[in-house]
Structure 1
Amino acid sequence: MKTHYLAGLLMLLAGAAMARPQVEVNVPPEVFSTQGQQTQRCTQCCVYQNENYSEGAVINTDGGLLQCLRDEKTIGTNPLIWRRVK
């Protein structure tokens, strides 16, 4: 009795899977290529002119020195921000 129940359940599931419509999604090849693309965004980085910088990095800009530091006011997965170095 138990095996008949399982066999019936499997047939029902297989039939439901076959009844699903097939969906085709056309994806342009650029999605899978990194040629000509900019640097990937980092989840724990500061970004300046499309370049990723890790925590503690210091850069010299026209406006002065900037340092990549944690933002103690922000709760989240990317709490790094640029702060002006005095």
Structure 2
Amino acid sequence: LQGRCTDSKTGKTLTLHANEEMLQGLRAFVETPEGRAQARERTKVEHALASICNRKKHRARYIGVRLNEYDLNRTAAITNLHIGMAMA
């Protein structure tokens, strides 16, 4: 193993995320029963939004707000029907 170590004079450094303490607190919260319940509810919403994003991709289909709003509502309705049928 020693042969795989660096012989740099400065050595390696480890930088923690600026919000590492908060992230660790959230990980601990998700381990509690109430945290798991909130995570389950959040997962339902995020799954539906991800389904819409997967259908629509990253670009607007039309020029103008009116047609794109219609297209988004249509896609949301299709997603809701798809999720509703999967649960039945």
Same fold by TM (over 0.5)?
A: no
Q: Calculate the TM-score normalised by the size of structure 1.
A: 0.30
Q: Give the structure, 1 or 2, with the largest relative contact order (CA under 8 Å, sep 6 or more).
A: 2
- The structure number with the bigger radius of gyration is 1
Q: Calculate the TM-score normalised by the size of structure 2.
A: 0.29
Higher share in helix: 2
